Amino acid sequence: MRTPFGSWIRAVAAGAVVGLASHAGAGGARIVEITARRFEFTPSEVVLKRGETATLRLRSLDVVHGFFQKALGIDLEIEPGRVAEVTLTPQVPGRYLTICDHFCGSGHGNMKLSIVVE
């Protein structure tokens, strides 16, 4: 799907569990590993280059979380024990606040991650 910002988005869920890191994938795109747990994402900030294709790969360590950033076309559901990922090529520099939009408890409103596009 083509987003308003020209990013290519692909969201999948798979049964694998991956380690934490930022590394190159098989196709050369950078893969950024992100963990979600009440009430934080780790890391809390991801820096991407404008025009860079990257895959954000997320897993939950406790309950179901969301991962939502409307302008970048990101909309994931992160279920415990499964991996959710999105591939994007952001075109517009800026700081994009990305939130958990699946209510997960009293600190839910503070569960966020910044995607910085340089």
Give whichever of 5 and 68 is closer to other proteins, judged by the CB atom: 68
Q: Residue 61, interface with other proteins (CB under 8 A)?
A: no
Select 31 or 65, whichever has its Cβ closest to other proteins: 65
Nearer to other proteins, 31 or 60 (CB): 60
Of 23-31, 49-57, 61-69, 85-93: span binding other proteins (CB under 8 A): 61-69
Q: Is residue 17 close enough to count as binding other proteins by CB under 8 A? A: no
Select the span of 11-19, 39-47, 66-74, 86-94 touching other proteins (CB under 8 A): 66-74
User: Does residue 94 bind other proteins (CB under 8 A)?
Assistant: no
What is the three-state SS of the chain? CECCCCCECCEEEECCCCCCCEEECCCCCEEEEEEEECCEEECCEEEECCCCCEEEEEEECCCCEEEEECCCCEEEEECECCEEEEEECCCCCEEEEEECCCCCCCCHHHCEEEEEEC
* CB of 55 closer than 8 Å to CB of 28: no
Regarding 101 and contact with other proteins (CB under 8 A), the answer is yes
